[in-house]
Amino acid sequence: MKAILIEKPEETQIVSVKDVPDAQLPEGDVLVDVAYSTMNYKDALAITGASPVVRRFPMVPGIDFSGTVAESSHPDFKPGDRVVLNGWGVGETHWGGLAERARVKGDWLVPLPAAIDLRQAAAIGTAGYTAMLCVLALERQGVTPDKGEIVVSGAAGGVGSVATALLAARGYEVVAVTGRPAEAEYLRGLGAASVIDRAELTGKIRPLAKERWAGGVDVAGSTVLANMLSMMKYRGVVATCGLAAGMDLPASVAPFILRGVTLAGVDSVMCPKPDRLEAWSRLARDLDLGKLEEMITEVPFAEVIDTAPKFLDGAVRGRIVVPITA
Ligand code: NDP
């Protein structure tokens, strides 16, 4: 099978497209013909080696794929079933989706809802499913559209684009934060009520700033998240999932102890299966597939390796889909 392979014979990793015998696929009870894979921020870190995402070598990257079951000894899956996989260490410790075939544990697979096709499933990918987990986190904490505006950072990126579209479709007033003012029209097209410059969230962090938002979805961390917290309304809720600006959090406890603000952590990788099924069924119900189409850029398999650095420059808009055998 054709695969992107990350090897590390010595200090530096080597990434190339290779023909790999199927026999080298890792153990698992389901073999999937991969129709589409995707590129997420984490895949870019793995392919460029910018961060130690890959834990075993050689590794096939690709934390997501959608495809059709070819062989299965798992009771829930049979040949021909349409499935999607996100996370579980795939593309990090277990060979991932940037290959013609993947062998994985059936317990990791989600059956694709009927309303979503294989290309759309890949377009949603980890970024979109994480955006849904963030929206669910806000809902669970009682953030309803009448409470006020929801701020979304990194709005023109993958998680941010899907979060913007999902929230707008549910009737929330979305304030999209971007470092790329040129994407304002794109963000309004996804449903953002207003678009603000990232600079509004990168200034000096005050323990408490003027109350602005009822909720937030943050992909940035660091100063952006600290400022967002300080600007939350009384009992506001921020769902935090990313570190595009940094791993640190230079915040004070003031928003928590004086305004009752909640910081809800969101992890997609080890998220239990019932939550995944809920997220995918909500994506099938709530995500406007026309808006999803506006987010998609297709990257041919042969161009994946050269595209990875663009993520680290924050230059990728929306979602990247990589056709494999489709
Ligand atoms: P993308 O690269 O598609 O989007 C990230 C966006 O963040 C960029 O497009 C940019 O948007 C913004 N950004 C870039 N640099 C900075 C900066 N220095 N300060 C503030 N914002 C910045 O990545 P994804 O959407 O796929 O992922 C976003 C983040 O979420 C990543 O950190 C990723 O690792 C994390 N993540 C975590 C998951 C989890 O399970 N917890 C799952 C999925 C993703 P703009 O130009 O609009 O400002």
Phi and psi, residue 185, nearest 5°? -65, -40
Locate CATH 3.90.180.10 in the chain.
2-112+296-323
What is the CA(22)–ligand 1 centre distance, in A? 34
Phi and psi, residue 220, nearest 5°? -100, -40
CATH topology of domain 2-112+296-323: Quinone Oxidoreductase; Chain A, domain 1 (3.90.180)
Tokens standing for 138? 């806000």
What is the CA(264)–ligand 1 centre distance, in A? 17
Mean pLDDT of the 125-149 span = 98
In the chain the beta strands, taken as DSSP E runs, fall at 2-7, 14-19, 30-39, 64-72, 82-86, 101-104, 110-111, 150-152, 174-178, 194-197, 213-218, 232-240, 262-265, 296-298, 319-323
Residue 315 has pLDDT above 90, yes or no: no
Q: What is the mean pLDDT of the chain?
A: 97
Mean pLDDT of the 82-97 span = 98
Residue with CA nearest ligand 1 atom 11: 154
Q: 125-265: CATH homologous superfamily?
A: NAD(P)-binding Rossmann-like Domain (3.40.50.720)
β 232-240/213-218 pair status: parallel
CA distance 70 to 284: 24
pLDDT at res. 314: 83
**Number of Cβ atoms within 10 Å of the Cβ of 272:** 7
Among all chains, which residue has been given the structure tokens 């000096």? 204
Mean pLDDT of the 231-241 span = 98
**Number of Cβ atoms within 10 Å of the Cβ of 14:** 13
pLDDT band at 82 (very low <50, low <70, confident <90, very high): very high
Mean pLDDT of the 174-200 span = 98
Residue with CA nearest ligand 1 atom 18: 245
Among all chains, which residue has been given the structure tokens 């950072």? 153
Residues 281-296 pLDDT 10s: 999 999 999 999 999 9
Mean pLDDT of the 23-47 span = 96
What is the CA(308)–ligand 1 centre distance, in A? 14
pLDDT at res. 113: 96
What is the CA(59)–ligand 1 centre distance, in A? 23
Residue with CA nearest ligand 1 atom 35: 242
Residue with CA nearest ligand 1 atom 5: 157
pLDDT band at 59 (very low <50, low <70, confident <90, very high): very high
Q: Which atom of ligand 1 is nearest to the CA of 133?
A: 40
- Mutation choice for ligand 1 from 159, 164, 319, CB with most ligand atoms inside 8 A: 159
pLDDT band at 325 (very low <50, low <70, confident <90, very high): confident
Percent of the chain with pLDDT over 70: 100
Locate CATH 3.40.50.720 in the chain.
125-265
**Residues having CB within 6 Å of any atom of ligand 1:** 40-42, 126-127, 130, 153-160, 178-180, 198, 219-220, 224, 241-245, 266-269, 311, 314, 316
pLDDT band at 312 (very low <50, low <70, confident <90, very high): confident
Mean pLDDT of the 166-172 span = 98
Contact 239, 221 (CB under 8 A): no
DSSP string, 139-198: HHTT--GGG--EEESSTTSHHHHHHHHHHHHTT--EEEEES-GGGHHHHHHHT-SEEEEG
The radius of gyration of the chain from alpha carbons, rounded to an integer in Å, stands at 20
What is the CA(187)–ligand 1 centre distance, in A? 15
